[in-house]
Amino acid sequence: MNQAYKVMATVKIAGHQVVMDVVAWQHLSGHRAKRLIAQFDLNGSQKFEKAEGALAGNRLAPETIGGLFVAVNGQGLVPQSAQSKAVRIDRDSIEVMALLRYVLPTTNTGEVTIGLRKGKGDSRGLEVSCLPPVLLLYQGAQTMRLKPIKLRSGDRVSFGIDMDAFGWFSRRGLLPF
């Protein structure tokens, strides 16, 4: 069985909120994928129709998301929204994508932690980036990162707002609020 995983998170301002959008992706092939195709290709069309893709995506989403955790001050944060979908790539492979949106606190009193709890043999990676004026605080350094940082299991990342950049965007009318 061949599997590949990837989890990517981007923190940004959306409207009046600071949000984190998470995309989790998984590729399955081989015998297990064939069994899943047989289970979810209900009409035998050799592809997943919309409802079949949603059923398969919902079934595989927890595995695709894996050990992802988002916490504020040590308390788990529940996503505001979640969607998943599976697509049949060829006769013996499937790709699954899960999209999660978290609304983060806008006060400076909380630490947001994101990371992965890795299981045995899990090769999943987590990449985190942010869009200005959000700052990424990682290993004691503060930076605006458009290029993702690759995290290891147990790494902690927190976020803040660069008020100088916020003012710059605001003065130029570039903020949506």
First and final C-alpha spacing in the chain:
49
For position 138, what pLDDT does the model report? 74
Q: Is residue 56 within 8 Å of residue 93, measured between CB atoms?
A: no
Question: pTM for the whole thing?
Answer: 0.81
User: What's the pLDDT tens digit per position in 40-99?
Assistant: 999 988 889 999 999 999 999 998 888 888 888 788 899 999 999 999 999 889 999 999
Residue 150 pLDDT grade (very low, low, confident, very high; cuts 50, 70, 90): confident
For position 176, what pLDDT does the model report? 55
User: What's the pLDDT tens digit per position in 109-127?
Assistant: 566 778 777 665 555 678 8
Q: How far is CA 53 from the centre of its chain?
A: 19
| pLDDT at residue 105 is higher than 90 | no
